[in-house]
Amino acid sequence: MKHHKKRGCEMKKLAFICTRGLDTFIEPIVREFEKDAAYQVRRFYVTTNQEIIAAVKWADIVWLEWANEVAIIASQMYDMKKKGVIVRLHSYESLSPMPTQIDWRNVDYLVFVASHIMDIVKGKVPDIEKLTCPKVVPNGVDVDAIPLMEPGDPHEIAYVANINHKKAPELALQIMAALVAKDPAFRLHIAGAYQDERYQIYMKHMMGDMGIEQNVIMYGFVKDMEQFWKGKGAILSTSIHEGHPLNIIEGMARGIRPVIHNFYGARRLYQSEWLFNTVDEAVDLLTQLSGPTGVIRHHVIDRGWTLAEQMRQFKKLVAKAGEKRK
């Protein structure tokens, strides 16, 4: 793609640097910035230190997706002192030592996806607000491209997550066993791949022993999510820890009622009637689904969980990046 000079000045070089394989969340943002005539945009999905160094040297403004090992290396480069720098921290990084190893003096803005994740990091880096400028910018979806669906069958429950310890799929099985005992018509549709062979062995064993193997449908990785969402009456989340999960937002944007395990920070994000602490509470929520789907979609819009609002905030930060250290 050819890049042209913006009238009266050079286009700023904006580098999105991300560990290869972890670029799912950044791609929609990159595509939006590519439409902006103020920037020459490049993706650097990296695997080596040399690739990180090359990306930083090329850029005027550096966007580091994930506060991980790549951000640690990049933040300590001498060249970073002359750049505008943004780091976006999602969730898992807050539970690691990595935020304590980043040179935040070389970072203009540290972007969090949720305020409770910022609180966790503040506990590890108490002077973070003196070193950089923390901002909370929630995840967003393109609501204009997502149709509001007709209310689905309440017996058909979506579960959208790769299967690992953080997602606590064993809790989902406990909930399903309790639901099926009440009504054998309940089914759980799991869109996600196994990331731990232990869970593959465990879930096959437990579904058989519980007698719910016909009520839990495993799809693995799903390419056509639009088709997957059709007909679902609820989305169940049993995670023990989340930042601002896109799977729930994407379901809610379609009007699908969320039923969410009360992870730390969930009450700041969702209405209390969508949250559960116990299996019994989850069963009650899933057997008493009611209300217009538009209310659920509007929660997403009203809270600013849209791509448009996300981009509005990101463009302000990118425009200002580098100013305070000049």
Is 90 exceeded by the pLDDT of residue 279?
yes
Share of the chain above pLDDT 90, in %: 88
Picking from 3-12, 21-30, 190-199, which range would have the lowest pLDDT averaged per residue? 3-12
Is 60 exceeded by the pLDDT of residue 5?
no
Q: What is the pLDDT of residue 231?
A: 94
Cβ partners under 8 Å of residue 307, min gap 6? 28, 32, 140, 141, 142, 143
Domains delineated in the chain: 12-140+306-320 (3.40.50.2000), 143-302 (3.40.50.2000)
Band (4; pLDDT cuts 50, 70, 90): very low
Band (2; pLDDT cuts 50, 70, 90): very low
Share of the chain above pLDDT 70, in %: 95
Average pLDDT, the chain: 93
Q: What is the pLDDT of residue 325?
A: 52
Band (8; pLDDT cuts 50, 70, 90): very low
Picking from 82-91, 94-103, 286-295, which range would have the lowest pLDDT averaged per residue? 286-295
Q: What is the pLDDT of residue 7?
A: 45
Picking from 114-118, 193-197, 321-325, which range would have the lowest pLDDT averaged per residue? 321-325
Long-range Cβ contacts of 44-50 (<8 Å, 24+ apart) = 44/15, 44/16, 44/17, 44/18, 45/18, 45/19, 45/20, 45/21, 46/17, 46/18, 46/19, 46/20, 46/70, 47/19, 47/20, 49/73
Reported pTM: 0.90
Give φ, ψ of 187 to 5 degrees: -135, 140
Q: What is the pLDDT of residue 11?
A: 87
Q: What is the pLDDT of residue 263?
A: 97
Tokens matching residue 72: 């640690």
Residues 293 and 256 sit within 8 Å (Cβ to Cβ): yes
Q: What is the pLDDT of residue 79?
A: 83
What's at 199, amino acid-wise? Y
Long-range Cβ contacts of 99-104 (<8 Å, 24+ apart) = 99/67, 99/124, 99/125, 99/128, 100/124, 100/125, 101/72, 102/67, 102/71, 102/72, 102/75, 103/75, 103/76, 104/75, 104/128, 104/131, 104/132
Q: What is the pLDDT of residue 138?
A: 96
Count Cβ neighbours within 10 Å for each residue of 172-188 and write b for 16 or more, e otherwise: bbbbbbbbbeeeeebbb
Q: What is the pLDDT of residue 324?
A: 56
Average pLDDT of the residues in 81-92: 94
Residues 230 and 146 sit within 8 Å (Cβ to Cβ): no
Beta bridge partners of residue 15, listed in sequence order: 42, 62
Q: What is the pLDDT of residue 9?
A: 59
Q: What is the pLDDT of residue 291?
A: 65
Question: Which tens digits make up the pLDDT trace of 181-214?
Answer: 999 999 999 999 999 999 999 999 999 999 999 9
